[in-house]
Structure 1
Amino acid sequence: MSVVLHIGLPKTGTTYLQEWLKLNKDKLRQSGVAVLSSAAAHRLAAASLTDSSLSNRADVVAIERDCTLPQAVKEVQDDVGHVRVVSSEYFFHCEPSDVRVTMDALGVSVSSIICYVRRQDRVCASGYAQEVKALGLAKRIADYGEVSYEPLLDWNHLYEKWETAFPSATIIFENFESCVANDTLVKTFRASIGATGVETFGLPERVNESLSAHLTEFARILNEKRSVYDLDRLMDIQGRTKLPPFAFDQATTQLFETIYLPTNQLLAKRFPLKFEEYCTSGWRPNGIDMTDRLDAEQQADILFRYVSRD
């Protein structure tokens, strides 16, 4: 049995691609590509988590409750004769060697490993905004302290770990931001899973969109006050208002550059013409950080839009 692993990094279109797989599972299956359900894919990833701080998280416990490992294994084994696409953001948090143990126990051969990456400051900024939006985070950026090296954000190191664990697999790293800018996210993913010639449906809209800089700060303030609010209403405001995205300030962005530019250069050598902007100095934010900068008038304007149903 052969599988393609999509190790979805946070905020790199993972949910979007999983929704695309779900929408097109019948068409893909007809071409010999089977899509493992999200529940089963997440369960296989959860089985490979060895860090108790992660495996005991509420979301992981819910995954284990909703889909047992035998159920996930059965779904893998039912698709005889198909290449199986297994997509889960939880693989990113696993040690590749532990994933190898899980796959070997299932008698599964990993043919390809797909990973989309973003510039490190942007993926962290987007992750912060997501935690404010979805997890009730109230922490300020300054409270995190100075930026320091994090192995999980070292994309070249990430490549090396998966290459070591799966030496026979084809490892594909893609530039998420370039794919979005060129509208090639689905195109590159289709090619990676062997479905280039398959006629598929497109998704009608963005999935799991982040709040803008102003609305992220508005939501953070509400989280700080432990106020319950309607997230859908904030997203509706966002859809009606042109506001800049959330991003770290220039000083913080510069710290990320100093730390990760050298290792990004190593990754760029592995994948020519894909990551040049990640390994070129002069990084700039693509948005703003409104933490503690949302004045009373701006708060009042957002509140007015929030309570208004026009």
Structure 2
Amino acid sequence: MKLILHIGTGKTGTTALQQFLCANARKLREHGIHYAAPPDEFNFNSITNAQLLTGLDKFRTFFLHHLAEAERAGAHTIIASSEILYSIRWRARCVGKKSSADALFEEHNLVGRLRASIPEEMECHVLCYVRRPDHWLESVYNQNVKSGILFTGDVIDFLGMTEDMLDYHRCLSIWREVFGSSACSVRVYESALPNLIGDFVEHVLQSVDISSFTRSHLRANERLSRDVLEYKRLRNKNIPDYERRLESRILALVDKRIINPSNNHEYLSPDERAALLSSLEPSMDRLRTEFALPPFPRFNLDAARASWRSYPGLSLEKGREIEFHYNAVQRQIGFRLERLVIRAAALTRRRLPFLSWFLDFARASRVRRLLLEAANPFR
């Protein structure tokens, strides 16, 4: 049995690819391919999160279950995808407040545990897409201000937290050490555009004809406009972690109501961008050499300086417009009910911790999903 383990990176079309694979799981099985994900999920991020946050060995149970499923279906290949796998080092630092060195050790340890959890019958191949580091940094920064760790700093502050993740060669060397160099491959995100799914099918699935497969025409995981993102960044310090997903959905609706929003998403100045790329050039050269990669898009400093327009910040007038729409959206009955339930659950965890098992069960089951769906007509 062959296992294709897609480890990210995030912000390289990962969500769209995962949703495509999940939506076409039945048709993939007709070609002998089993897509592995927990029920009602389109990736196995929840398994990776559980492994990192609780220390419980969820990986082996997950792979054994899907190995049995694949064998029953007569499949010869299993695909599993979790972009969190690439970013374990960074998440370990955020969750456990660990130093870079401790997190690096933790990442190597966790990748090793992952490898040991994969049944011997599986021939594992690790796949990772990478993006030019400055563009990846800006996209991840946007994502984390919008819905991730409720970040409140600017992009340079964020760079200080994520700089070691931009060293693709060092990060992926861990995977080569654990899985073997012949079992790891890397592809350049920009070279795969404009059809990342087509690139994945051509170079990973190869002989599979996807002409009859379901294709989503919606962009997955769209970013907020710059003005709404700045509004969200300023609010983040006052948002409890357990309400971050709710706030993200509210702001996504607000974003659709704003008139003439700014879409200036160049968070780095030309000189900051040039300095970052220069510092990472040795790592990028080693990555291209060892994985036989095409070059990343070139950066022209003079052209960037000529076209650079810095973001002036959120104006008072635009801030008032966003605030008006935010208040209107979050007062909708569906969102008010959801916020009430979330806060009641958080209070219960603090005051009555012995009931946490019941809340975890409700969250893992379809109960929570059904409640949210029931509230949709009121939004």
Q: TM-score, normalised by structure 1?
A: 0.77
How far 1:18 moved relative to its partner? 0.8
Q: Name the aligned partner's letter for residue 5 of structure 1.
A: L
| Distance 1:132-1:258 versus aligned 2 partners, 3 A rule | same
Match of 1:265 among 282, 285, 304: 285
Residues 207 and 245 of structure 1, relative CA distance in 2, 3 Å threshold: same
What percentage of aligned pairs have identical amino acids? 22
**TM alignment of 1:27-176, pairs within 5 A:** 27-38=27-38, 41-42=44-45, 45-46=48-49, 55-56=52-53, 70=61, 72-80=63-71, 81-92=75-86, 93=88, 94-95=107-108, 96-103=111-118, 106-135=119-148, 137-141=150-154, 144=157, 147=160, 150-167=163-180, 169-176=182-189
Q: Distance in 2 between matches of 1:206 and 1:86?
A: 21
Give 1:13 shift: 1.5
| Distance change in 2, residues 1:246/1:26 (3 Å) | farther
- 1:238 Cα deviation from its structure 2 partner: 7.0
Is the Cα–Cα contact under 8 Å of residues 145 and 233 in structure 2 kept in the other structure? yes
Does residue 217 (structure 1) correspond to residue 230 (structure 2)? The answer is: yes
Task: Give the aligned length.
Answer: 291
Secondary structure of the 1:137 match is coil
Q: 1:289 to 1:29 in 2, by over 3 A?
A: farther
Instruction: Kindly state the Cα deviation for residue 68 of structure 1 after the two structures are TM-superposed.
Output: 8.5
Q: In the alignment, which of 201, 207, 211 is matched to residue 190 of structure 1? A: 201
Query: By how many angstroms is 1:118 displaced?
Result: 1.3
Greater relative contact order (Cα < 8 A, sep 6+): 1
CA 1:85–1:273 in 2, change beyond 3 Å: closer, same or farther? closer
| RMSD after superposition | 3.7
Structure 1 unaligned blocks of 5 or more: 50-54
Give a deviation string over 1:162-219, Cα, whole Å, max 9, x none.
Answer: 2222226443312223333xx1200111123325432222112111112122221011
CA distance in 1, matches of 2:202, 2:259: 32
**1:122 aligned counterpart, secondary structure:** helix
Give distance in 2, aligned partners of 1:109 and 1:234.
Answer: 46
Distance 1:256 1:83, change over 3 A: same
Could you say if the C-alpha distance between residues 70 and 130 of structure 1 is closer, same or farther in structure 2, counting changes exceeding 3 Å? same
Residues 169-178 or 207-216, more deviating: 169-178
Letter in 2 for 1:257: L
How many Å separate the matches in 2 of 1:294 and 1:212?
11
Is the 1:8–1:116 Cα contact (8 Å) retained in structure 2? yes
Note the C-alpha offset of 1:123: 1.7
Given residue 17 of structure 1, which amino acid in structure 2 is its aligned partner?
Answer: L
Other structure's SS at 1:113 match = strand
Larger Rg: 2
Instruction: Give distance in 2, aligned partners of 1:70 and 1:148.
Output: 33
CA distances 1:31-65 after superposition (whole Å, capped 9, x unpaired): 11110015583365457x5xxxxx22xxxx6x979
2:226 maps to amino acid: A
TM-score after normalising by structure 2: 0.65
The amino acid of 1:4's aligned partner reads I
SS at match of 1:208: coil
Q: Measure the CA separation in 2 of the matches of 1:198 and 1:212.
A: 37
Q: 1:117 to 1:203 in 2, by over 3 A?
A: same
